[in-house]
Amino acid sequence: MNGFLLVIIIVLFTSFNPTKTANKKMPEKMRISQQAYSEVEAMYHRMQLASTLNFKAFEQAMAGYTQLADTDKGIITVIDFTLPSTEKRMYVIDVENEKLLYHTLVSHGRNSGENYATSFSNENDSHQSSLGFFRTENTYFGGNGYSLVLEGLEQGINDRAKERAVVIHGAPYCSTRVIASTGRLGRSYGCPALPVELAKPIINTIKEGTLLYIYADNTQYAYQSAILKRHHATLLAQRSMDERAESNIF
């Protein structure tokens, strides 16, 4: 297990509350005397993501990363569907080196919504996007060119991704030209479709075992996701421990 992953696991499962380590790593201008940052929060600020990526999406993605990552690539991809299709809402993050590798447009399913994706499904022929955590697998050449197979990791939420042929691929309808002419991106049958010129380099970066997290601040997903439930239970348990420790001190 690499060092960074060990630190994250320790933070989330043992000391998610204020840590001296997190404060030491933060730039001086970001230190707050009465409020320490968790390692995840510290990483978010070190990467200067505040103006780019929703913290809640990042925090949930990293919670899944600690539970699910099983390769040495140290990469996670986040798609934030709270943003409109006219904005760059796909982020490829090198966790090990704390670097944002790609930040680009991505299309959603045609029945998920117009400019915003608001409806999600795991059903065949729904032509909707699915939320949650996926693991990337092999690549192949198909009707949409160079494509990347996705395995849905959450039962009842996205586990039909393969039978639905939900894959990452390039598409001409995912471009600034289409936005200029229609006011939004074109839409897929449920696939996270990328700009044609970026599809191959992104696929080659994230293929073969990295995680993808599709976020939408969706109440139903949060209620169903076992991954988020484990994360929230850990935080609540740690908070209770901290409160008991404080009461014993005072």
Q: Hey, what domains does the chain have and what are their CATH numbers? A: 73-217 (2.40.440.10)
Residue 111 CB neighbours (<10 A): 17
d(CA 12, CA 14): 6
pLDDT at 7: 47
pLDDT at residue 232, as a whole number: 83
Q: Helix crossing, 3-13 with 226-249: angle to 10°?
A: 60
pLDDT band at 156 (very low <50, low <70, confident <90, very high): very high
* Prediction pTM value: 0.82
Asked if 110 and 121 count as a contact pair (C-beta separation under 8 A), the reply is no
pLDDT tops 90 at residue 188: yes
* pLDDT range class, residue 238, cuts 50, 70, 90: low
Q: What is the pLDDT of residue 234?
A: 78
Taking residues 26-39, report their average pLDDT: 42
- Quick check: helix, strand or coil at residue 63? helix
Q: How far apart are CA 218 and CA 194, in angstroms?
A: 23
Average pLDDT, the chain: 86
Confidence bin at 248 (pLDDT 50/70/90): low
- Structure confidence at residue 215 as a pLDDT band (50, 70, 90): very high
Confidence tier at 245 by pLDDT (50, 70, 90) = low
Q: Give one word for 217, left, alpha or beta, with left for phi > 0 and alpha for psi -120 to 50.
A: left
Pair type for strands 145-152 and 167-170: antiparallel
State the amino acid at position 73 in one-letter form: K
